[in-house]
Structure 1
Amino acid sequence: MSIKKFRQILFNSFLIIIFFYLENAFSQNKISNVNIASSNLPLVFINTDGQTIKDQERITAQMGIIDNGNGVRNNISDEFNNYNGLIAIELRGSSSSAYPKPQYRIETQDSLGDNLNVSLCDLPTENDWILYGPYNDKSLLRNVLSYKLSNQLGRYASRTVYCELFVNYEYLGIYVLMEKIKRDNDRVDISKLTELDNSGDELTGGYLVKIDRIEWNSVGYWYSNFGTPYQHEYPKDDEITPQQKEYIINYFNDFEQLMNSDNYNDPETGYRNVIDIDSFVDHFLLNEFCKNVDAYRLSAYMYKDKDSVNNKLIAGPIWDFNLTFGDAWITGEIGFSDGWQIDYSVLHPDDPFKVPFWWKKLLKDNEFSSKVKTRWNELRNNILDHNTLFKVIDSTASYIQEARLRNFQRWPEILSSTYEDEILQLKGWILKRLMWMDTNIDLLTQIDQTENNNIPNNFIVYQNYPNPFNPVTTIKYRIPSSTVLLNSFQHQSNSEIPEKDLAYNVNVQIKIYDMLGREIKTLLNEQQRPGIYEIEWDATNYPSGIYFYKITAGNIFDIKKMMLLK
């Protein structure tokens, strides 16, 4: 046994001793920031023994879970009866990492620090888990509702369990214990690849791939010949062989090359022979109904098994649906229920993370769009009937009613209205979204195939300067004329714009939003002639943080992020 391993065992043993005392402390109600004796939700306790939980760097901690089963109260004084052992824990999340309510990734471990497959709160046995803390989602149920819908459609999504979380005696509120997306018989059920599977049928699967942002610490990624940023989640980057990596890269390059060809929809040689059409139809409808701001371009998973098992590429599972159902604060689209999310790159041409071109090619094909319409009408009669959806929402809200009072006691700043109002707004948004899609589903083939003709090239929202700033920053923008909406031109100053175009005024609004998507300031709301403008925002009375400015000119808009540092 190595010295490093021996030290790990000693440290883990020490944590177990510490946690024995921690359990006794909880039984004596030594919770620092909330009054709680019991809950109808499972209670999860994590003790790091003074260590700071970090991003991208796991630490060893101890976790205990009290779960007495459905309909039975879980008391602080109860023993840890669902789990009582070691975990590795780290922070997780991209946009959510800026929230004060932390998000966690955990791995259950044995006393040696190795993976320990266990069932937590009756979820299927595994060792990789997520503790997702709803923060900006004031309904507390967007992810849970989305994943439930996916599973009802027959498309695997992470199973979820609501719980209440304590970290080092501190109450952190309502969390959702979720399955991490990974290859497993009870999760993404594809064949296991070994280092010996380098040729023939064995080489062809299984692979779990996602389209996502490429960051400084990303591994296992590549850009396709068309610029799509792919990452192989399985096999892991330190386990995949050169032959397997070459296979999956070539597979997606060939797929995109096919989709870019004129005969992409040939009945014999086209995309029908490559993708599982029904899965792509369901994936499209789920993302569109929920109006997922990340749809198709971020956290967009696909997987492929061995050819001998299933030679088609399957879309899914869905992931990170917290910015859905009208809560897309990150782009300022709060409450928007109209429009196709697949047009995101048209409406946000400056966003580097584009919707892959082949999604619109699929919709251009009559067979695919016909399947979308048929499936939509089928789902509207059952799973996506508004009464059915509202029953799910009401039952979930009722289930977490007691715990959400404590949650908003812990995080009062996120609830600007009553919880009941939040649920009413959510239901109202769903009704409007359903009606809009009912009206527009037959127009799918009319979705614009270009990426820029809805936004004129010379409608420009510049990045504010300076950025970061304190406390004043300048926002610069260029407003087009109504003529420009169809025929763009390039002018460097107002004097260069033809007089005939200056006759057309357009209503311009500039609004500032905080990190939670709340509108905090209207800088401008007036008619302006086409031209280049600047406006200052004095943030003296606002705290440090990330803010967004949205400029709307007529029927077009753009949004950018800025940072106030004091």
Structure 2
Amino acid sequence: MIIVYLSICFYHPVCAQGFTDSNLPIIIINTDQGVEIPDDPRVLASMKIIYRGPGQRNYVTDQNDPSYLNYNGRIDIEIRGSSSQVTPKKQYAFTTRKADNVTNNNVSLLGLPAENDWVLNGMVFDPALIRDYLSFNLSRQIGEYASRTVYCEVIINSVYKGLYLLQERIKADNNRVDIMKINPADNTYPLVSGGYITKADKTTGGDPIAWTMYSWDGYPVGYMHHLPKPENVTMQQNNYIHDQFELLAAEAFDGNISVADGFPSVIDIPSFIDFIIISELGSNADAYMFSTFFHKDRNGKLRAGPIWDNDLTYGNDLFFWGFDRSKTDVWQFSNGDNEGARFWRDLFNNSMFRCYLSKRWNELIQPGQPLNLSSIETFIDKTVSTISEAVARENALWGRVGNHQHQITKIKSFLSTRIAWITDNLGPYSECNNVSVPPLVITKIMYHPATSPDFPEEDDLEFIEILNNGDQAINLTGIYFSGTGFVFQFPVNATLGPHLSLFLASNASVFQAKYGVAPFGQYTRHLSNKSENLVLADGFGNVIDNVLYYDTIPWPDADGNGNYLSLTDPGLDNNMAVNWLSSYELLLSDNIIPAGIDFQLYPNPVSDILRIKADSEIGLLSVSDIHGRLLVSMYINHKSYELDMSRFTRGTYIIRIITADKAYTGKIMKD
């Protein structure tokens, strides 16, 4: 036994420190030639991640068994952080590289979505070692992206470094901050409208301040570019995104709540509310002023988040520097320190915004909800159980944890008091409760079209249909798709008549070429071929309709086979798979053939009944307005039909009929 132990320690010097195995993944990093890891520049290294699987123990000796390696490859690495660089324990940023040491290697690490930019968070200011992990998970639980994290233990150049969080770096990516990446050539509208990631932060790291805003008390707050990078941003891009923040500040200062031109037209209100909620739940001493991120997709609204650096939370602060700001009885945006730009307090002081903030908060603290005290305590206990073994080693190495259970008890006590204080001080929400929303229904979804020689780009053929399922015309001003990944906001004063529908397409010109009419509008980005949560909301974020579709059973098969999802009845719950079918019915036509059939429309102009006759059986009959909005689509299966147009307003309409092998289009006037 002694010989075996000595053999292991000879090949793995870290054994001298007593670390041989863990219930957590083990990350082993060896820099080339054993060089120290600096702040800058990055150095090359090899990295192995040992992970046998859920519930299994991992051993340092597993590094020589490929079957136990979650990653075995090249990285470049540097020390990261601002204030944290003064601590003995360091934090790191690294990029996974291919064997050439240059090319990014997009890989999944420990089950996290594939990417190449990663962080090893040492939690150096958090004696409880759970604050970032807790806040990031709570953010995701309430529906807002935050970095995914996995606890692990780290060895660098044969030296045990302690407990870390492997986490995602904030970055534009379909699985991270889900926005488009803006390019240097994107300088005219709409290209210049996104995507952006902007932050209020310290200047540590060399990133210059792009512009300055001011707090309620007149203190400067520096804003910086994260995407595009400061060295790549153009004057037009800087001016555009800066103007968005200035517009937010102006409308929030004026208290303008118009969905047409007030702050609801500029920002995604739910994301700002959720950012405030997570920041205030923990009473984050850095929130609003530092490590405060925003993002904006092309043609989309400005969104707050994702959250970052939540170590000075839940009663914790830089006590050794004389700070004690994470209190249970303050608002961090108005406590006289690190308040951030004035618009945060202006938004809070707006009665309508505060109403929605209170409503959201009171929903989230209900039993079974993510921010309910019991739910949080259960999550904390599970987390502590997972890391308790590693915490003992961390404390033995760095000596900063002390009584870990006491640290956890303090967090729970803080949360109990904090949740009660916020609830008592947010105020009522009756004014914005049970808000009436228009009866708009998502009724068709073409998320993975089939291609053809005439239409080879499948993404260009996507569309969705939205129906007004009510008896009154709807003003669509302010209505938009909230969240990320799918972007469309209806123009001011756009309307949709009763029981009429409209189409939104991914490529308006392709849609018109294929189906014969122009869609109502063109959205930005593309529908996922796997699953997407489509949330249609009003300007304040009240959900009008919500469909979370999948390409798997029990959802109907509309995955690349030419079919689309079609709701069987607009009165049914369209978030249930059973209420959808896979349809191949023509919208207007699949292949419009020039007319060659005898076809009659009369009278024209028409007041009420339009008579339609053909020399062969009519299949599909459709009516569109002059703007291309589809108003009627039905199968006739007869040579004649009488269409009641009495409910149509005056104007010009396009009538299209399709038979077994031909098509015809005609115009009629409604008087």
Give TM-score scaled by structure 2 length.
Answer: 0.58
Report the 3-state secondary structure (helix = DSSP H, G, I; strand = E; otherwise coil) of the residue aligned with 1:148: helix
**Could you tell me which amino acid in structure 2 is paired with residue 217 of structure 1?**
G
The answer to whether residue 95 in structure 2 is matched with residue 107 in structure 1 is: yes
* Percent of pairs with identical residues: 38
CA–CA distance in structure 2, aligned partners of residues 224 and 114 of structure 1: 38
Shift of 1:52: 1.7
Shift of 1:220: 6.4
Unaligned runs of 5+ in 2: 1-6, 430-671
User: Which residue number in structure 1 is paired with residue 4 of structure 2?
Assistant: none
CA–CA distance in structure 2, aligned partners of residues 34 and 263 of structure 1: 61
Answer yes or no: is the 8 Å Cα contact 1:390–1:427 preserved in 2: yes
Correspondence list, 1:138-177, <5 A:
138-177=127-166
Shift of 1:193: 1.8
User: Which residue number in structure 1 is paired with residue 24 of structure 2?
Assistant: 41
**Could you tell me which amino acid in structure 1 is paired with residue 161 of structure 2?**
L
User: Which residue number in structure 1 is paired with residue 80 of structure 2?
Assistant: 92
Answer yes or no: is the 8 Å Cα contact 1:214–1:221 preserved in 2: no
The answer to whether residue 50 in structure 2 is matched with residue 66 in structure 1 is: yes
Which structure: larger Rg? 2
C-alpha change, 1:221 and 1:58, in structure 2 (3 Å) is farther
Shift of 1:224: 4.6
Report the 3-state secondary structure (helix = DSSP H, G, I; strand = E; otherwise coil) of the residue aligned with 1:430: helix
CA–CA distance in structure 1, aligned partners of residues 380 and 17 of structure 2: 27
User: Which residue number in structure 1 is paired with residue 644 of structure 2?
Assistant: none
Alignment counterpart, residue 222 of structure 2, candidates 216, 219, 229: 229
C-alpha change, 1:185 and 1:27, in structure 2 (3 Å) is farther
User: Which residue number in structure 1 is paired with residue 123 of structure 2?
Assistant: 134
CA deviation string 1:375-434 (max 9, x = no partner): 11101111111111111000000011211111111112x134x21111111111111111
The answer to whether residue 73 in structure 2 is matched with residue 82 in structure 1 is: no
**Could you tell me which amino acid in structure 2 is paired with residue 386 of structure 1?**
L
Alignment counterpart, residue 430 of structure 1, candidates 406, 415, 438: 415
CA–CA distance in structure 1, aligned partners of residues 11 and 339 of structure 2: 53
Answer yes or no: is the 8 Å Cα contact 1:33–1:170 preserved in 2: no
User: Which residue number in structure 1 is paired with residue 296 of structure 2?
Assistant: 304
The answer to whether residue 278 in structure 2 is matched with residue 294 in structure 1 is: no
CA–CA distance in structure 2, aligned partners of residues 97 and 394 of structure 1: 30
The answer to whether residue 385 in structure 2 is matched with residue 398 in structure 1 is: yes
Alignment counterpart, residue 354 of structure 2, candidates 348, 353, 369: 369
C-alpha change, 1:125 and 1:27, in structure 2 (3 Å) is farther
Shift of 1:56: 3.0
CA–CA distance in structure 1, aligned partners of residues 326 and 260 of structure 2: 43
C-alpha change, 1:26 and 1:142, in structure 2 (3 Å) is farther
CA deviation string 1:219-250 (max 9, x = no partner): 46332588541111111123333332232223
Answer yes or no: is the 8 Å Cα contact 2:120–2:166 preserved in 1: yes
Answer yes or no: is the 8 Å Cα contact 1:301–1:316 preserved in 2: yes
CA–CA distance in structure 2, aligned partners of residues 337 and 271 of structure 1: 29
Report the 3-state secondary structure (helix = DSSP H, G, I; strand = E; otherwise coil) of the residue aligned with 1:84: strand
**Could you tell me which amino acid in structure 2 is paired with residue 363 of structure 1?**
F
Report the 3-state secondary structure (helix = DSSP H, G, I; strand = E; otherwise coil) of the residue aligned with 2:310: coil
User: Which residue number in structure 1 is paired with residue 424 of structure 2?
Assistant: 439
Shift of 1:277: 0.7
Report the 3-state secondary structure (helix = DSSP H, G, I; strand = E; otherwise coil) of the residue aligned with 2:14: coil
Answer yes or no: is the 8 Å Cα contact 1:27–1:77 preserved in 2: no
Unaligned runs of 5+ in 1: 1-23, 445-566
CA–CA distance in structure 2, aligned partners of residues 222 and 199 of structure 1: 21
Shift of 1:336: 3.0
User: Which residue number in structure 2 is paired with residue 407 of structure 1?
Assistant: 394
**Pairwise CA RMSD of aligned residues?**
2.2
The answer to whether residue 264 in structure 2 is matched with residue 255 in structure 1 is: no
**Could you tell me which amino acid in structure 2 is paired with residue 135 of structure 1?**
V
CA–CA distance in structure 2, aligned partners of residues 93 and 225 of structure 1: 25
The answer to whether residue 174 in structure 2 is matched with residue 191 in structure 1 is: no
Correspondence list, 1:382-531, <5 A:
382-412=369-399, 414-416=400-402, 418-442=403-427
Answer yes or no: is the 8 Å Cα contact 2:199–2:226 preserved in 1: yes
Report the 3-state secondary structure (helix = DSSP H, G, I; strand = E; otherwise coil) of the residue aligned with 2:53: coil
**Could you tell me which amino acid in structure 2 is paired with residue 368 of structure 1?**
F
User: Which residue number in structure 2 is paired with residue 341 of structure 1?
Assistant: 332
Report the 3-state secondary structure (helix = DSSP H, G, I; strand = E; otherwise coil) of the residue aligned with 1:87: strand
CA deviation string 1:282-335 (max 9, x = no partner): 11111001100011111111111111xxx2111100000011100022562277
**Could you tell me which amino acid in structure 1 is paired with residue 358 of structure 2?**
K
User: Which residue number in structure 1 is paired with residue 466 of structure 2?
Assistant: none
Report the 3-state secondary structure (helix = DSSP H, G, I; strand = E; otherwise coil) of the residue aligned with 2:34: coil
CA–CA distance in structure 1, aligned partners of residues 204 and 61 of structure 2: 44
Shift of 1:443: 8.2
Shift of 1:216: 7.1
The structure with more helix, counted as a fraction of residues: 1
CA–CA distance in structure 2, aligned partners of residues 181 and 26 of structure 1: 38
C-alpha change, 1:277 and 1:93, in structure 2 (3 Å) is same
CA–CA distance in structure 2, aligned partners of residues 45 and 129 of structure 1: 15
Answer yes or no: is the 8 Å Cα contact 1:33–1:171 preserved in 2: no
Answer yes or no: is the 8 Å Cα contact 1:220–1:236 preserved in 2: no
User: Which residue number in structure 2 is paired with residue 55 of structure 1?
Assistant: 39
CA–CA distance in structure 2, aligned partners of residues 161 and 286 of structure 1: 20
Correspondence list, 1:318-337, <5 A:
318-329=307-318, 332-333=323-324, 336-337=327-328
**Could you tell me which amino acid in structure 1 is paired with residue 390 of structure 2?**
A
Instruction: Answer 1 or 2: higher relative contact order, Cα 8 Å, separation at least 6.
Output: 1
Correspondence list, 1:9-20, <5 A:
none
CA deviation string 1:138-188 (max 9, x = no partner): 211100000000000100000000000001111111100000001001000
Answer yes or no: is the 8 Å Cα contact 2:377–2:412 preserved in 1: yes
User: Which residue number in structure 2 is paired with residue 245 of structure 1?
Assistant: 238
Answer yes or no: is the 8 Å Cα contact 1:195–1:240 preserved in 2: yes
CA–CA distance in structure 1, aligned partners of residues 236 and 427 of structure 2: 44
Answer yes or no: is the 8 Å Cα contact 2:207–2:230 preserved in 1: no
User: Which residue number in structure 2 is paired with residue 359 of structure 1?
Assistant: 344
Divergent runs of 4+, >6 A: 24-27
User: Which residue number in structure 1 is paired with residue 488 of structure 2?
Assistant: none
User: Which residue number in structure 2 is paired with residue 379 of structure 1?
Assistant: 364
